[in-house]
Amino acid sequence: MKTIKARTLFDLPVTESRLDEAIERGELRRRSGLQATAVAFLDPCLAVSFEDGSGVLLPVKNYSEFDGFEAEDFTRLKVGYSGTALCHEGKDLHVSIAEMISACPPLMAMATSIVASRNGRQSSSAKAEAARANGKKGGRPRKVDVAP
């Protein structure tokens, strides 16, 4: 998991255009998918719930960010950054949920399989035209065995 160093933010005056840009960035982030709504500690895992009612269990032993955490520390974790991170203010910890999921090989293998399956079902206009042409000819031609 990569560590991101905090940037120093300067006091910039809030203008209508900056406010509009911030609102637009927030909307883009909200619509981009991953929106956690809650986190709970179910020893030895963190249960992260999402907007649509789904959830994922992540074993805390797999993440060095939680080394030294006690059970009470886990109960103080909150969802932050528009549902994209787990935050613990007392320990100044902010961990990306997407990065936690991507660091789990079984979850990534499942995600890869799902994406491949979904992409295989997509039909381009060229594929659809080829299927119609083959249908007019009686379907896909049979394979012919060529004797060596």
How does pLDDT run across 2-18, given as a tens digit for each residue?
Answer: 676 766 666 778 889 98
What pLDDT score does 32 carry?
A: 63
User: What's the whole-number average pLDDT of the chain?
Assistant: 85
- If you average pLDDT over residues 55-59, what whole number do you get? 92
Distance of CA 61 to the CA centre of its chain: 20
- CATH 3.30.2020.40: does it fit domain 16-121? yes
Greater pLDDT, 2 or 143? 143
- pLDDT for 146 equals 78
Question: What pLDDT, on the 0 to 100 scale, is given for residue 39?
Answer: 96
DSSP 65: G
93-96 and 78-80 strand pairing: unpaired
3-state helix, strand, coil in the chain (%, to 5): 40, 20, 40
Q: What is the pTM of this model?
A: 0.61
